[in-house]
Amino acid sequence: MIKKLITLLVLATALASCSDDFVLQTDPNSVAASDYFRTDNDVLQAVNGVYQSLRGGNNIGENSGLYTDERSDDAGRNDNQSNAGEPFQFNDFAILPSNTNLKSHWLSLYQTIARCNQVTSNIDKVTFTTPANKDIYNAEVKFVRGLIYFHLVRKWGDVPLVTKQLNTTDDIIANTFREKKEKVYEQIITDLKEAVASGLPNHQPVSEKGRVSKAAANALLGQVYLTMATTLDQANRASNLANAKTYLTAAYNMKTFTALKDIPYVDVFDVTKKSTNAEIIFQIVNKQGDITYSSSIAANNQAKGETTNSLKPSNGVGGNVKQDLVKEYEINDLRKDFSIKYANDATVKDWYITKFRDVSALAGATGYGGNDWPLIRYADVILMLAEVNMYLGDEATAIQFLNQVRERAKLSTYEVMKNNAEYAAKYPTLKLAILHERRVELAFEHHRWFDLLRFFTPTELVTYIQSKPQADYGTAKVSNFGLKDYLFPIPFDEYKLNPTKMYQNTGY
């Protein structure tokens, strides 16, 4: 699909035009990239096209849980027949290189990268009437390119690394190969450091919600360094951890609230407070009631016979929740009652996701909700700071950060709970306690799979997944999980372009 993608890019540039409202974007037009970039506004429209591409379910938008949460022990599906059983393959750890969902995900991610490269390859041709805009627009697309490559490298390992617009057959051939993951990480770091050093504001104003901020760039860069410290060659572990702490701390220090406990958990997901909530650092913006730019996650997660999420009637099971996660919540954890609910319909008796809700009249029975999709928020940053301090041997500071999140959930401190026999048995180490807190705090926000990759080596992860009771996992088989499942297979259409340079991941 790389060849197909690049051919399309040579013929037509997928640039989205938009109105003054950042959310209200029209469909991409077909203008040659060489002719398109002339004014500040042309670049702005191209940047908006980059943001627009993130929205899709095959990209990293709200409905992309198939590639993250359904790959983990949090969510999944028990229907192994629909859509030729291809979605079921993800949670059953039986995914094939020919899986069309996987191919669609790969293609969508590279389409976003291509849009970013169109901007970076042409921005110097424009004489800006407002010179500062060049720095801002460049920083925005560099952030998004780094973000997408971060998804790619964690999901596939070595991947093609393209950082310029490709215009010729020779360009295509030269870039059809898998670059080593270490080189991909180097590029991610380069892109995100440019965003951090740019003139981006620490936080975007309400009118610009959905655009990248300096807090977002620091948070993501810190997460990248933390991931490198725990998943790459350990020779650079100490420096990567130090860098992770530096950038995560910078993001944390940019917060505009005093304490996390001052922001009620339910407010983070309240559609009436989404633009003003101080905890959300970076989000995909949706427009309530709009057929094109609304959110569908509330309606999609609604179970038959229930009205918690949406006014749209449901005939299905909603967002399915693993019993393994249900049992993870501690007694009196307010996040459980808000995030999941048991559907007691005659044909649906199961847990479903209630974290994302819009029962407003404007969303109505069509389910055109107003939920924004939070990609980065401060609870995530705080728990990563707990993690990095734990790795650095500063357990006291790690526990302080961990307790910030527990305090908002109205739970006892870690110091108290580690003396609780049941808690200590389930989470005998601070590391497992942090992983537990991330799981229940960030459930269904597409973090769990990446957390598992970061907290465990491939061998450790096999042991961890296979130790789970099959009864708590559903129809998909935990026993299927093996070393190969640490990464996705390279989609077959990509592999066959050049079986040598687009080599398949081990085990597929």
pLDDT of residue 1: 42
Predicted confidence (pLDDT) at residue 14 exceeds the cutoff of 90: no
Token look-up 């005659």 returns 346
Predicted confidence (pLDDT) at residue 10 exceeds the cutoff of 50: no
pLDDT for 245-263, tens place per residue? 999 999 999 999 999 999 9
pLDDT for 27-43, tens place per residue? 444 556 667 899 999 99
The three-state secondary structure class of 308 is coil
CA 305 vs CA 342, 348, 365: distances in Å: 11, 8, 14
SS (H, E, C) 148-159: HHHHHHHHHCCE
pLDDT of residue 319: 94
Token look-up 């061998």 returns 459
pLDDT for 449-470, tens place per residue? 999 999 999 999 999 999 999 9
pLDDT for 99-126, tens place per residue? 999 999 999 999 999 999 999 999 999 9
Query: Which residues are CB-contacts of 205 (< 8 A; sequence separation ≥ 6)?
Result: none
Return phi, psi of residue 321, to 5°: -115, 135
pLDDT of residue 31: 58
Which of these ranges, 29-38, 214-223, 419-428, 441-450, has the smallest mean pLDDT? 29-38
CA geometry: angle 237, 93, 105, nearest 5 deg: 75
Class of domain 378-486: mainly alpha
Token look-up 């569908």 returns 296
pTM as predicted:
0.93
Q: Comparing C-alpha atoms, which of 44, 155, 45 is closest to residue 110?
A: 155
332: alpha, beta or left? (left if phi > 0; alpha if psi -120 to 50)? left
Residue 22 confidence class, pLDDT cut points 50, 70, 90: very low
Query: Which residues are CB-contacts of 142 (< 8 A; sequence separation ≥ 6)?
Result: 116, 120, 191, 192, 194, 195
Q: What is the mean pLDDT of residues 191-203?
A: 98
Tokens found for residue 318? 């909603």
pLDDT for 127-168, tens place per residue? 999 999 999 999 999 999 999 999 999 999 999 999 999 988
Pair 210, 51: CB distance under 8 Å = yes
Return phi, psi of residue 350, to 5°: -165, 165
**CB atoms near residue 244 (< 10 Å):** 27
Pair 2, 22: CB distance under 8 Å = no
pLDDT for 310-326, tens place per residue? 999 999 999 999 999 99
Taking the C-alpha atoms of residue 364 and residue 250, their distance in angstroms, rounded to an integer, is 41
Of 19 and 187, which is predicted with more confidence? 187
Q: How many residues does the chain have?
A: 508
pLDDT for 40-73, tens place per residue? 999 999 999 999 999 999 999 999 999 999 999 9
Residue 80 confidence class, pLDDT cut points 50, 70, 90: confident
Predicted confidence (pLDDT) at residue 372 exceeds the cutoff of 90: yes
Class of domain 1-191: mainly alpha
Rounded to the nearest integer, the mean pLDDT of the chain is 93
Within the chain, all domains assigned CATH 1.25.40.390 are found at 1-191
C-alpha torsion sign, points 368, 371, 151, 426: negative
Q: Comparing C-alpha atoms, which of 68, 50, 216 is closest to residue 154?
A: 68
Which of these ranges, 24-28, 114-118, 330-334, 391-395, has the smallest mean pLDDT? 24-28
Q: Comparing C-alpha atoms, which of 271, 269, 268, 266 is closest to residue 369?
A: 271
Tokens found for residue 310? 């949406």
Q: State the pairing for strand pair 340-344/349-353.
A: antiparallel
Predicted confidence (pLDDT) at residue 23 exceeds the cutoff of 90: no
Instruction: Please tell me the chain's helix, strand, coil percentages from 3-state DSSP, rounded to the nearest 5.
Output: 55, 10, 40
Taking the C-alpha atoms of residue 241 and residue 447, their distance in angstroms, rounded to an integer, is 20
Pair 90, 18: CB distance under 8 Å = no
Pair 56, 109: CB distance under 8 Å = no
